[in-house]
Amino acid sequence: MKPALATVTLFFFLFAFSTKPSHVSASTGEPVVDISGEKLKAGESYYILSAVSGRGGLSFEDFGNDTCFHVVVQESSELSKGKPVKFLPLNSNDVNTSINLNVEFSDTIIGCPESGVWKITKRISEALNVGTNGVAGVGQNFVNWFMIEKAESEGAYKLKFCPNPETIVCQDLDIFFYGDDGKRYVGLANPGQFETLEVVFEKADVNDGDAEMSR
Protein backbone atom coordinates (compact mmCIF):
# COMPACT_ATOMS: atom_id res chain seq x y z
CA MET A 1 0.00 0.00 0.00
CA LYS A 2 1.34 3.46 -0.94
CA PRO A 3 1.92 5.80 2.03
CA ALA A 4 -0.47 8.43 0.68
CA LEU A 5 -3.29 5.93 0.41
CA ALA A 6 -2.56 4.60 3.89
CA THR A 7 -2.80 8.12 5.28
CA VAL A 8 -6.18 8.70 3.72
CA THR A 9 -7.43 5.40 5.07
CA LEU A 10 -6.17 6.20 8.55
CA PHE A 11 -7.80 9.60 8.68
CA PHE A 12 -11.02 8.12 7.41
CA PHE A 13 -10.77 5.57 10.18
CA LEU A 14 -10.17 8.29 12.79
CA PHE A 15 -12.74 10.83 11.77
CA ALA A 16 -15.46 9.00 9.88
CA PHE A 17 -17.33 8.12 13.06
CA SER A 18 -17.07 11.51 14.68
CA THR A 19 -20.78 11.82 15.34
CA LYS A 20 -21.15 8.39 16.88
CA PRO A 21 -21.66 8.63 20.65
CA SER A 22 -19.22 6.62 22.71
CA HIS A 23 -20.60 3.82 24.83
CA VAL A 24 -17.98 4.34 27.52
CA SER A 25 -19.07 7.76 28.75
CA ALA A 26 -21.97 6.38 30.82
CA SER A 27 -19.72 4.09 32.84
CA THR A 28 -17.49 5.13 35.72
CA GLY A 29 -15.41 1.99 35.21
CA GLU A 30 -13.55 0.20 37.96
CA PRO A 31 -10.19 0.75 39.64
CA VAL A 32 -7.15 -0.25 37.58
CA VAL A 33 -4.78 -2.45 39.58
CA ASP A 34 -1.03 -3.05 39.29
CA ILE A 35 0.70 -6.45 39.20
CA SER A 36 0.62 -6.54 43.03
CA GLY A 37 -3.17 -6.10 42.99
CA GLU A 38 -2.93 -2.54 44.37
CA LYS A 39 -5.11 0.22 42.91
CA LEU A 40 -3.20 2.67 40.73
CA LYS A 41 -2.91 6.10 42.34
CA ALA A 42 -3.13 9.33 40.36
CA GLY A 43 0.22 11.11 40.07
CA GLU A 44 2.34 8.12 41.21
CA SER A 45 4.85 6.45 38.89
CA TYR A 46 4.29 3.13 37.14
CA TYR A 47 6.06 1.13 34.46
CA ILE A 48 3.80 0.06 31.61
CA LEU A 49 5.02 -3.48 30.98
CA SER A 50 3.98 -5.92 28.29
CA ALA A 51 1.32 -8.42 29.35
CA VAL A 52 2.87 -10.80 26.83
CA SER A 53 6.30 -12.22 27.64
CA GLY A 54 9.31 -11.40 25.44
CA ARG A 55 8.67 -7.63 25.28
CA GLY A 56 9.78 -4.78 27.51
CA GLY A 57 8.07 -1.72 28.94
CA LEU A 58 7.04 1.52 27.25
CA SER A 59 9.67 4.21 26.85
CA PHE A 60 10.44 7.24 24.70
CA GLU A 61 13.01 7.75 21.96
CA ASP A 62 14.17 10.45 19.55
CA PHE A 63 12.66 10.34 16.14
CA GLY A 64 14.49 11.45 13.01
CA ASN A 65 16.98 14.31 13.30
CA ASP A 66 15.12 16.24 15.94
CA THR A 67 16.64 15.33 19.30
CA CYS A 68 13.89 17.25 21.10
CA PHE A 69 10.98 15.35 19.71
CA HIS A 70 10.20 12.01 21.25
CA VAL A 71 7.87 9.19 20.38
CA VAL A 72 6.61 6.38 22.59
CA VAL A 73 8.08 2.96 21.87
CA GLN A 74 7.94 -0.48 23.45
CA GLU A 75 11.34 -1.83 24.50
CA SER A 76 12.05 -5.04 22.62
CA SER A 77 13.94 -6.62 25.53
CA GLU A 78 11.94 -8.08 28.39
CA LEU A 79 14.84 -6.99 30.63
CA SER A 80 13.99 -3.31 30.17
CA LYS A 81 11.06 -1.86 32.06
CA GLY A 82 11.24 1.37 30.06
CA LYS A 83 10.39 4.75 31.59
CA PRO A 84 7.74 5.19 34.30
CA VAL A 85 4.62 7.29 33.73
CA LYS A 86 2.02 9.04 35.87
CA PHE A 87 -1.70 8.85 35.16
CA LEU A 88 -3.62 12.09 35.61
CA PRO A 89 -7.39 11.41 35.46
CA LEU A 90 -9.82 14.11 34.36
CA ASN A 91 -11.88 15.56 37.25
CA SER A 92 -10.95 12.80 39.69
CA ASN A 93 -8.22 11.06 41.64
CA ASP A 94 -9.47 7.60 40.64
CA VAL A 95 -7.41 5.79 38.03
CA ASN A 96 -10.39 3.80 36.75
CA THR A 97 -11.02 2.02 33.49
CA SER A 98 -13.23 3.94 31.03
CA ILE A 99 -12.32 7.43 32.22
CA ASN A 100 -10.34 10.10 30.35
CA LEU A 101 -6.84 10.65 31.62
CA ASN A 102 -3.56 12.28 30.65
CA VAL A 103 -0.38 10.19 30.73
CA GLU A 104 2.97 11.79 31.52
CA PHE A 105 6.48 10.37 31.66
CA SER A 106 7.77 10.80 35.22
CA ASP A 107 11.34 11.51 34.07
CA THR A 108 12.05 14.91 32.59
CA ILE A 109 13.47 14.79 29.10
CA ILE A 110 16.97 16.06 29.78
CA GLY A 111 18.10 18.97 27.63
CA CYS A 112 14.71 19.47 25.98
CA PRO A 113 11.99 22.05 26.69
CA GLU A 114 9.20 19.63 25.76
CA SER A 115 6.77 18.19 28.30
CA GLY A 116 6.56 14.45 28.94
CA VAL A 117 2.77 14.46 28.45
CA TRP A 118 1.55 12.02 25.82
CA LYS A 119 -0.30 13.20 22.74
CA ILE A 120 -1.26 11.78 19.38
CA THR A 121 0.98 13.22 16.71
CA LYS A 122 1.87 12.63 13.10
CA ARG A 123 5.48 11.71 12.47
CA ILE A 124 5.20 8.85 10.04
CA SER A 125 2.97 9.02 6.97
CA GLU A 126 1.51 5.55 7.49
CA ALA A 127 0.36 5.98 11.08
CA LEU A 128 -0.12 8.31 14.04
CA ASN A 129 2.42 8.10 16.84
CA VAL A 130 2.01 8.65 20.52
CA GLY A 131 4.60 11.35 21.15
CA THR A 132 5.58 13.77 23.91
CA ASN A 133 5.07 17.52 24.39
CA GLY A 134 1.34 17.24 25.06
CA VAL A 135 -0.55 19.42 27.55
CA ALA A 136 -2.34 17.99 30.59
CA GLY A 137 -5.61 19.28 32.02
CA VAL A 138 -9.17 20.29 31.33
CA GLY A 139 -9.91 22.23 28.17
CA GLN A 140 -6.79 21.03 26.40
CA ASN A 141 -6.79 19.72 22.87
CA PHE A 142 -8.36 16.33 22.21
CA VAL A 143 -5.03 14.82 21.13
CA ASN A 144 -3.88 14.63 24.78
CA TRP A 145 -6.51 12.22 26.14
CA PHE A 146 -6.14 8.50 26.74
CA MET A 147 -8.01 5.74 28.56
CA ILE A 148 -7.30 2.38 30.16
CA GLU A 149 -9.63 -0.58 29.49
CA LYS A 150 -9.51 -4.24 30.47
CA ALA A 151 -8.09 -6.49 27.75
CA GLU A 152 -9.35 -9.95 26.82
CA SER A 153 -6.48 -11.67 28.65
CA GLU A 154 -6.95 -12.11 32.40
CA GLY A 155 -5.33 -9.24 34.34
CA ALA A 156 -4.20 -7.37 31.22
CA TYR A 157 -5.19 -3.90 30.08
CA LYS A 158 -5.34 -1.99 26.81
CA LEU A 159 -4.48 1.65 26.33
CA LYS A 160 -6.77 3.73 24.15
CA PHE A 161 -6.62 7.10 22.51
CA CYS A 162 -9.92 8.53 23.72
CA PRO A 163 -10.51 12.21 22.95
CA ASN A 164 -12.30 14.43 25.43
CA PRO A 165 -14.95 15.47 24.70
CA GLU A 166 -15.55 12.13 23.02
CA THR A 167 -16.55 13.51 19.64
CA ILE A 168 -14.16 11.17 17.87
CA VAL A 169 -14.28 7.42 18.29
CA CYS A 170 -11.82 5.96 20.81
CA GLN A 171 -9.18 3.66 19.33
CA ASP A 172 -6.81 1.10 20.80
CA LEU A 173 -3.13 1.98 20.90
CA ASP A 174 -1.14 -0.69 19.11
CA ILE A 175 2.44 -1.39 18.11
CA PHE A 176 3.45 -0.58 14.57
CA PHE A 177 6.67 -0.74 12.61
CA TYR A 178 8.37 1.78 10.36
CA GLY A 179 10.66 0.49 7.67
CA ASP A 180 13.22 -1.90 9.09
CA ASP A 181 14.56 0.22 11.96
CA GLY A 182 13.40 -2.53 14.33
CA LYS A 183 11.62 -0.10 16.67
CA ARG A 184 8.23 -0.92 18.14
CA TYR A 185 6.29 2.34 17.85
CA VAL A 186 3.15 2.94 19.90
CA GLY A 187 0.25 4.63 18.14
CA LEU A 188 -2.66 4.26 15.78
CA ALA A 189 -2.21 2.38 12.54
CA ASN A 190 -4.53 1.10 9.86
CA PRO A 191 -6.26 -2.21 10.55
CA GLY A 192 -3.97 -5.10 9.67
CA GLN A 193 -0.80 -3.01 9.95
CA PHE A 194 -0.16 -3.35 13.67
CA GLU A 195 0.44 -5.71 16.53
CA THR A 196 -1.92 -5.64 19.53
CA LEU A 197 -0.59 -4.00 22.70
CA GLU A 198 -1.68 -5.50 26.02
CA VAL A 199 -0.08 -4.19 29.18
CA VAL A 200 0.21 -4.50 32.97
CA PHE A 201 1.37 -1.86 35.44
CA GLU A 202 4.18 -2.07 37.99
CA LYS A 203 4.74 0.55 40.69
CA ALA A 204 8.04 2.32 40.06
CA ASP A 205 10.50 3.13 42.77
CA VAL A 206 11.18 6.87 42.46
CA ASN A 207 14.93 6.33 42.14
CA ASP A 208 14.65 3.28 39.93
CA GLY A 209 15.75 4.79 36.62
CA ASP A 210 15.90 2.18 33.86
CA ALA A 211 15.62 -0.72 36.24
CA GLU A 212 16.16 -4.33 35.32
CA MET A 213 13.16 -6.62 35.43
CA SER A 214 12.79 -8.31 38.77
CA ARG A 215 10.25 -10.94 37.78
Ligand X SMILES: *[C@@H]1O[C@H](CO)[C@@H](O)[C@H](O)[C@H]1NC(C)=O
Catalog residues that contact ligand X under the rule CB under 6 A. 28-31, 64-65, 92, 94, 96, 99
**Closer by beta carbon to ligand X, 30 or else 205:** 30
**Closer by beta carbon to ligand X, 26 or else 206:** 26
Least distance (Å) between residue 126 CB and ligand X = 14
Least distance (Å) between residue 84 CB and ligand X = 23
Least distance (Å) between residue 3 CB and ligand X = 14
DSSP lists the bridge partners of residue 48 as 201
Nearest by Cα to 148 from 99, 194, 189, 187? 99
Phi first, then psi: give them for residue 144, nearest 5 degrees.
-95, 0
**Closer by beta carbon to ligand X, 51 or else 95:** 95
Nearest by Cα to 208 from 46, 32, 51? 46
Rounded Cα distance between 84 and 105, Å, is 6
| Residue number with the smallest Cβ distance to ligand X | 28
Least distance (Å) between residue 210 CB and ligand X = 26
**Closer by beta carbon to ligand X, 60 or else 63:** 63
Nearest by Cα to 69 from 15, 124, 25? 124
Helix (H) or strand (E) holding 4: helix 3-15
